[in-house]
Structure 1
Amino acid sequence: MLDASPHDLADAAAHAGFDYCGVRIVSPDDGSPLHGLIGDSEEQQRFLHRCRRLGVALLDTEAVWIRRETDLRLMGPLLDATAALGARYVLTVGFNDDREQLIDQLGTFADLAAERGLYLPLEFITYTAVPNLAEAWDVVQCVGRENVGVLIDALQFFRAGAEFDVLDLIPHQRIPYAQIADGPLLAPASIEGLRTEARTARILPGQGELDLPRLISALPVQIPLSVEAPTRALADRPFGDAARILHATMTRVLAKTPTTEGTMPNDG
């Protein structure tokens, strides 16, 4: 729903029965549509008022892609906006192949986030400098900040080899929430194929071949589950209708997951 404004997302989440929504307020790459909440206190207050009226909270803001040239000392306005909007998490991705520099950058960013009571979930993505869960957890440990953890994206988890053994080793407090989507068992053969699948061709939860119940059962109990399933299949539907479909498919997955039976998905 990249064309949706923050207000549209809050409306869609409430319409579908989600507890949270997430908003993109910083562009990971040039050309992505954005709706300004940074540095606009009046617009922030309007959005907060709408969320409170709807009974929807903001889970996270996204997405900070850390590249070699990224100066994270300039991210103060993003962090200020995230804190002002009541979110706790700033989704972060490592795109710097210089591992030591990336660790230093994450440390700087984490210190700035900590000053505002914010937490940085590091998302591993198969076509980035942090391609799998083992590498993400190693980076987090090297950063050495209590407010840095690992974000589990179900599609990326399975595409990176389904490292359940590594997942079992990570302290629960370092996995603040997870993103759920489905896909075919067979991964795309190329980097470009993986990128296209992740951005526009995911399958709705429970309608693919990934073992989502096993993954959800392995996650910490009671963390928010964010439905992260960008797909052309829903592109032409109104935002509220698309959110309702995602909520319904996710609810069916949870019903098949023993440790979460009877719970509801949290984030649209």
Structure 2
Amino acid sequence: MRKGIATVSVSGTLTEKLAAIAAAGFDGVEIFENDLISCPLSPERIRDRAADLGLGIDLYQPLRDFEAVGPARLEHNLRRAERKFRLMERLGAGMLLVCSSVSPESADDDDLAAEQLHALAELAGRHGIRVAYEALAWGRHVNEYLHAWRIVQLAGHPNLGTCLDSFHILSRGSDPIGIEAIPGDKVFFLQLADAPPLAMDVLQWSRHYRCFPGQGGFDVTGLVRHVLNTGYQGPLSLEVFNDVFRQSDACRTALDAMRSLIALEESLDRRAPGPVIPTGFAFIELTTELTTELTKGLTTEIATEIKKGPATGPATGPSAGDTLPPAPGEAAALVGLLAAFGFTRTGAHPTKPVEMWEQGEARVLLNATGTGTALAAIGLETPDPAASARRAEHLLAPVLPRERAPGEAPLEAIAAPDGTQIFFCRSGRADHPDWTGDFTGDPAMALRPSPGTVIPATPTPPPPGITRVDHVALTQPWHHFDEASLFYRSVLGLRPLESMEVPEPSGLLRSRAMAGPDEAVRMVLNQARVGARHTPWQHVALSCDDIRGIARRLHAEHPGLLLPIPDNYYDDLEARHDVGPEIRELGLLYDRDEYGEFLHLYTITVGRVFFEIVERAGGYRGYGAANAAVRLAVQHARGPGTP
């Protein structure tokens, strides 16, 4: 279908808006009156600029407070409309949006409103223009779409129809099934917007919090389906008032808007294949600093130990009793964390300073090409990597070019809105090249733990260990949060949960969890906002079956790795839940929902990254959100990146 967007939905001057909208691939625009008034170009030049960009001008808006007024006001309103029609002829716009009146001068009289809208449509017809009448959700007398349609019927003019707006309909809780009673040729225009569920005045809700379809909580797809069932043939056009979008890069916002319409159109087609759902985490890639210490070759003896793999030899590779040589701070701390958890270094990439650490089904890649420690990439298992990449490209996700040496496995990769690289993998399958085969065990670029880490002389029994990656949490730039939510929902098919706000010492943290249908892939998107200082932390949550055993071992062998939890937390926890004293003794955090229980702990932060170890019992579905404020307060007190 034809795709359009209102100029009010993106930032910039009118000419900048038009350029961004055209670059995103839209077919048409709604020109918002304020954008035209503030533009130095004449209507003719704007018309020509739009045409040069391949854009039609589908609508001019709005004409406010027109109908159901006294004779003197009607005469004034018709003069006002005549001027707009002349301007629209110069602009090349063939339709005018008229909003239901909010004026205290208007009367609650449908017959009078219809009579005056008939006069307006008659005047519009002389200029070759049609009028679309819309019920504002806060209209003084007309605030329901079926009420507006009844007035259009009463007016009975061929140049008068109705405009349906998803926000005005769904924000009031109106049932959109009634749309199907309207003939398709009388639905002159369709405006679309989503919105988060908020308990507030509908006018403020509309003016500040609308978002693109798929970013909020409305069933926009269901509404559009009802509209299409009428036989409507017009464009799908976005009209979004949003404070963040008006401050963000126009090209990026327009691209996000187009992604929302592509995903919406797909959701309307029951034959569309839909997203290729990821089936798990293939790896998490962390970058850390590159130094000469990190690229020193190891001895033949150590190389032999690494090549033996996780089944034999010490987990860290070097000979028993060795004290490892010094290594830089963040890289050393990161390696120390993994070794403390029981991860084993199982291979190194032959052409890149990257090595693989494994435990259970969890894989962590350490990439020594960064300027600090950060989560740079996520590998996702998918039944068809090529199809996943094609879908991502169809939804306007940037496909990342990759250099590949002869014999290395191909890996499809895209960029998420925050720059995180997403790789599509199919690991350990005979029907697809296996990327893990690229990690040969060559130790030439091995990273090293902190100074003084001693390799035990006698191998100890395997400690209670990590089983897999449970979820990852990514901090989004404040102006890309909704974009990221739509990206993971549409590209990966993750289901968004309700957005929530968590207090932290310097403001509020907005957070939204997302998961696949079977919860094999879970992600949490965080955004610092409302006066909070910038806290770009990322974290990786690792699942286990015996968190008590892991906590005991870490407290005994590596007591400085865990984030200390205040006693006040446990006093409150014990008042709310019947938990044993070992929860406090081991420094664990606790939560429960209707499905089960959740135990978790946090590590210190290295660079931008910290780890969480979790144990889910009985089908618990949450993420321990009740404990997030405690964690944030402790991290705040320690400072960002404090080891």
TM-score higher than 0.5 here? yes
The residue type paired with residue 167 of structure 1 is I
Deviates more, 1:70-79 or 1:134-143: 70-79
Match of 2:227 among 219, 233, 242: 219
Following superposition, the deviation at residue 161 of structure 1 comes to 3.1
Q: Following superposition of structure 1 onto structure 2, how do residues 173-252 of structure 1 map, counting pairs within 5 Å?
A: 173-184=185-196, 186=197, 188-189=199-200, 193-220=201-228, 221-252=232-263
Decide whether the 8 Å contact of 1:21 with 1:56 is kept in 2.
yes
How big is each residue's C-alpha offset from its partner over 1:207-245, in whole Å with a ceiling of 9 and x where there is no partner? Answer: 112111111111135320111111123222122222111
Higher RCO (CA 8 Å, separation ≥ 6 residues)? 1
Q: Which residue of 2 aligns with 1:98?
A: 108
1:33, CA displacement in angstroms?
6.6
2:206 and 2:271 map into 1 onto residues whose CA distance is 25
Q: Distance in 2 between matches of 1:17 and 1:260?
A: 24
Residue 266 (structure 2) pairs with residue 255 (structure 1) = yes
- Distance of 2:233 and 2:223 partners within structure 1: 14
Relative to its length, the structure with more helix (as a share) is: 1
Distance 2:204 2:12 in 1: 20
1:82 maps to 88
Instruction: State the secondary structure of the residue aligned to 2:116.
Output: helix
* SS in structure 2 at match of 1:177: strand
The question of whether the paired residues in 2 share the 8 Å contact of 1:104 and 1:143 is answered with yes
Tell me the distance in 2 between the aligned counterparts of 1:17 and 1:211: 25
C-alpha offsets along residues 58-77 of structure 1, whole Å, 9 cap, x if unaligned? 01111001243352321212
Aligned residues of 1:217 and 1:259 also touching (Cα < 8 A): no
Paired residue for 1:73?
78
Partner in structure 1 of residue 544 of structure 2? none
Aligned to 1:140, which of 132, 147, 152?
152
Q: Contact between 1:6 and 1:35, CA under 8 Å: does it hold in 2?
A: no
Kept in 1, the 8 Å contact 2:148–2:162? The answer is: yes
Deviation at 1:127, TM superposition (A): 0.8
Corresponding position of 1:28: none
Within a 5 Å distance, the mapping from 1:121-132 to structure 2 comes to 121-128=132-139, 129-132=141-144
- Give 1:17 shift: 0.9
Residue equivalent to 1:45: 44
2:25 corresponds to which residue?
Answer: 17
Show the counterpart of 2:351.
none
Indicate how the Cα distance of structure 1 residues 35 and 5 shifts in structure 2: closer, same or farther if over 3 A, else same.
farther
Q: Identify which of 8, 20, 39 aligns with 2:16.
A: 8
Counterpart position of 2:57: 58
CA distance in 1, matches of 2:272, 2:225: 10
Q: Deviations over 1:106-162 (max 9, x none)?
A: 122111101111111111112102101110111101111111111111111112333
Amino acid at match of 2:98: T
Deviation (angstroms), 1:165 = 3.5
Which of these two proteins has the greater Rg computed from alpha carbons?
A: 2
Q: How many Å separate the matches in 1 of 2:223 and 2:47? A: 33
Partner Cα separation in structure 1 for residue 272 and residue 233 of structure 2: 12
Partner of 1:35: 37
Q: Assess, with a 3 A threshold, how the Cα gap between structure 1 residues 51 and 203 changes in structure 2: closer, same or farther.
A: closer
Distance 1:121 1:111 in 2: 13
Question: Helix, strand or coil for the counterpart of 2:247?
Answer: coil
Query: Is the CA contact 1:134–1:163 (under 8 Å) kept in the aligned structure 2?
Result: no
1:259–1:230: structure 2 CA closer, same or farther, 3 Å change rule?
Answer: farther
When residues 19 and 259 of structure 1 are mapped into structure 2, their CA distance, relative to the original with a 3 A threshold, is: farther
In structure 1, what is the Cα distance between the partners aligned to 2:257 and 2:48?
A: 25
Paired with 2:188 and 2:271, the residues of 1 have a C-alpha distance of 16
Alpha carbons of structure 1 residues 260 and 6: separation in structure 2 relative to 1, 3 Å: farther
Spell out, residue by residue over 1:44-85, the C-alpha distance to the aligned partner (whole angstroms, 9 max, x if none).
221122112111110111100124335232121210121232
The reply on whether 1:169 has 2:174 as its aligned counterpart is no
Q: Percent identity, aligned pairs only?
A: 21
Does the Cα contact within 8 Å between 2:207 and 2:241 map onto a contact in 1? yes
Q: Which runs of 5+ in 2 are unaligned?
A: 1-6, 274-393, 395-643
**Match 1:152 to one of 164, 168, 175:** 164
Alpha-carbon distance in structure 2 between the residues aligned to 1:33 and 1:215: 29
**Distance (Å, rounded) in 2 between the aligned partners of 1:163 and 1:119:** 27
Letter in 1 for 2:192: I
Q: Could you tell me how far apart the structure 1 residues matched to 2:270 and 2:189 are?
A: 16
State the partner residue of 2:348. Answer: none
Within 1, Cα distance between the matches of 2:133 and 2:204? Answer: 21
How large is the Cα RMSD of the aligned pairs?
Answer: 2.5
Where does residue 529 of structure 2 map in the other structure?
none
TM-score by length of 2: 0.37
More strand per residue: 2
Distance of 1:65 and 1:178 partners within structure 2: 18
CA shift in 2, pair 1:153/1:238, >3 Å: same
Segment of structure 1 superposing worse, 80-89 or 124-133: 80-89
Partner of 1:29: none
Q: How many residues align?
A: 250
What TM-score do the two structures reach when normalised by structure 1? Answer: 0.84
- Give yes or no for contact 1:120–1:147 (8 Å, CA) kept in 2: yes
Question: C-alpha displacement at 1:103, in angstroms?
Answer: 2.3
One-letter code aligned to 2:100: G
Counterparts of 2:35 and 2:49 in 1: how far apart (Å)?
A: 21
CA contact (8 A) 1:79 1:116 kept: yes
- Pick which of 7-16 and 63-72 moved more: 63-72
- Whole-angstrom distance in 1 between the partners of 2:107 and 2:234: 30
Q: Is the 8 A contact 2:95 2:132 kept in 1?
A: yes
Moved more, 43-52 or 65-74: 65-74
